[in-house]
């Protein structure tokens, strides 16, 4: 599916990414904008059963995707799902326990990678594609639909650590001691993630975001091999099918290697985490590609003057070029919903 020029013009988010002119006040959406800080989300979540049941229920997943759009009028909706539906669809056991985060049956040895299979994926992920279809029809004409997936490295950390990790010893040691079998896992994730994202676009996603939440724990050589190369391979595969689809890369913690990531992966725009100085990004990255970010999610909890000042710093540095306002990481569940309203009002008042 190609993005029509009339659609790009109608949506400030797409205009900023690929349009001829950029809007005067930057478009805004927030990573994890559908979630537990919203009472209406908690209500649907309680009806759904488990978290994965919610991800695989097209009506309810579409409903929670739309909740923050109704409440705040964000410029983009992000499909409600999770990065861990890919390992689930490859046949790994994935569960989410209340208050504990994700638990996966750990991959311990190369033979465990061989047991995974792409052959079940299409069927298992059908409900997610149906959610995309519902959203493509339901969204207001000026709101863009973002599809997403986890990047191979970040997804591999969960698959090998068995959940969230503090030190990433298992996954890093596996990649160091046996890079060939680790490459097999990354290759499987490149292929399955590209197929998954290609299908999201076929069903109506207008932009894709690749979340590499744990990109920032590598030496340079490892960053190039496990972060840049897989992102580049995924972008190439998507472009072969959907030539003009905008893709946002979010290599969290990429630091001094963000420039290489931006130059070498072929992404359309880059997401900045909270630690990236906005002034530096304005000088070094923004002349080359649109940037997205990077308000500290905790400033949004603090609210008041703290929030206003932090917002103005980001807007002042980046708001005069191609820029999408976002957080530097996902919104926290303790965020007061009215602080988000204050943030959106302030962004709407800005003229860049």
- Catalytic residue numbers read 32, 36, 45, 82, 158
Distance CA 181, CA 99 (A): 33
Give the bridge partners for 95, in sequence order.
103
Q: Which of 207, 213, 294, 326 binds ligand CP3 (CB under 6 A)?
A: 213
Minimum CB separation of residue 41 from ligand CP3 in Å reads: 7
Minimum CB separation of residue 13 from ligand CP3 in Å reads: 15
Distance CA 331, CA 340 (A): 10
Residue 127 in tokens: 């409900």
- Rule CB under 6 A: say whether 102 interacts with ligand CP3: yes
- Rule CB under 6 A: say whether 330 interacts with ligand CP3: yes
Helix axes 179-203, 229-241, angle to 10 degrees: 30
Residues 157-196 that bind ligand CP3 (CB under 6 A): 164
Minimum CB separation of residue 163 from ligand CP3 in Å reads: 8
Q: Using the minimum distance from each CB to ligand CP3, give the nearer residue, 96 or 196.
A: 96
- Rule CB under 6 A: say whether 101 interacts with ligand CP3: yes
Distance CA 57, CA 15 (A): 31
Q: Using the minimum distance from each CB to ligand CP3, give the nearer residue, 49 or 101.
A: 101
Q: Using the minimum distance from each CB to ligand CP3, give the nearer residue, 88 or 195.
A: 88
Minimum CB separation of residue 45 from ligand CP3 in Å reads: 5
The contact mask relative to ligand CP3 for 55-84 (x = CB under 6 A, - = no) is: -----------------------x-x-xxx
Residue 292 in tokens: 């997205």
CB-closest chain residue to ligand CP3: 213
Minimum CB separation of residue 21 from ligand CP3 in Å reads: 28
Q: Using the minimum distance from each CB to ligand CP3, give the nearer residue, 105 or 164.
A: 164
Q: Using the minimum distance from each CB to ligand CP3, give the nearer residue, 35 or 290.
A: 35
- Rule CB under 6 A: say whether 279 interacts with ligand CP3: no
Q: Using the minimum distance from each CB to ligand CP3, give the nearer residue, 15 or 33.
A: 33
Distance CA 249, CA 268 (A): 8
Distance CA 208, CA 64 (A): 19
Residue 174 in tokens: 């596996």
The contact mask relative to ligand CP3 for 120-159 (x = CB under 6 A, - = no) is: ----------------------------x-x---------
The contact mask relative to ligand CP3 for 17-56 (x = CB under 6 A, - = no) is: --------------xxxxxx--------x-----x-----
- Rule CB under 6 A: say whether 247 interacts with ligand CP3: no
- Rule CB under 6 A: say whether 326 interacts with ligand CP3: no
Minimum CB separation of residue 181 from ligand CP3 in Å reads: 23
Minimum CB separation of residue 316 from ligand CP3 in Å reads: 26
Q: Using the minimum distance from each CB to ligand CP3, give the nearer residue, 69 or 307.
A: 69
Binding site for ligand CP3 (CB under 6 A): 31-36, 45, 51, 78, 80, 82-84, 96, 101-102, 148, 150, 164, 211, 213, 330
């Amino acid at each position: 599916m190609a993005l029509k020029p009339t659609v790009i013009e109608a949506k400030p988010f797409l205009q900023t990414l690929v349009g001829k002119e950029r809007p005067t006040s930057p478009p805004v959406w927030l990573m994890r904008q559908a979630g537990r800080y919203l009472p209406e989300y908690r209500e649907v979540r309680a009806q759904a059963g488990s978290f994965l049941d919610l991800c695989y229920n097209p009506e309810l997943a579409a409903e929670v995707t739309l909740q923050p759009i109704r409440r705040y009028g964000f410029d983009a909706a992000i499909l409600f799902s999770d990065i861990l539906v890919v390992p689930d669809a490859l046949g790994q056991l994935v569960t989410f326990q209340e208050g504990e985060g994700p638990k996966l049956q750990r991959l311990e040895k190369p033979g465990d990678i061989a047991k995974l299979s792409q052959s079940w994926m299409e069927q298992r992920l059908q409900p997610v594609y149906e959610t995309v279809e519902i959203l493509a029809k339901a969204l207001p004409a000026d709101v863009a639909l973002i599809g997403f997936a986890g990047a191979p490295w970040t997804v591999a950390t969960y698959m090998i650590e068995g959940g969230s990790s503090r030190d990433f010893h298992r996954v890093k040691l596996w990649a160091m001691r046996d890079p060939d079998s680790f490459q097999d896992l990354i290759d499987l994730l490149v292929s399955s993630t590209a197929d998954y994202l290609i299908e999201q676009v076929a069903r109506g996603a207008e932009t894709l975001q690749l979340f590499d939440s744990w990109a920032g724990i590598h030496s340079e050589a490892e960053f190039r091999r496990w972060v840049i190369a897989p992102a580049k391979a995924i972008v190439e595969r998507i472009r072969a099918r959907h030539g003009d689809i905008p893709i946002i890369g979010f290599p969290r913690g990429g630091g001094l290697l963000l420039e290489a990531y931006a130059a070498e992966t072929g992404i359309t725009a880059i997401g900045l985490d909270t630690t990236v100085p906005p002034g530096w990004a304005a000088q070094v990255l923004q002349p080359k590609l649109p940037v997205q970010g990077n308000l500290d999610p905790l400033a949004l909890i603090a609210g008041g003057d703290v929030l206003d000042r932090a917002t103005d710093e980001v807007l002042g540095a980046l708001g005069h070029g191609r820029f999408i306002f976002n957080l530097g990481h996902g919104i926290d569940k303790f965020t007061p919903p009215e602080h988000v309203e204050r943030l959106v009002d302030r962004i709407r008042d800005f003229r860049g």
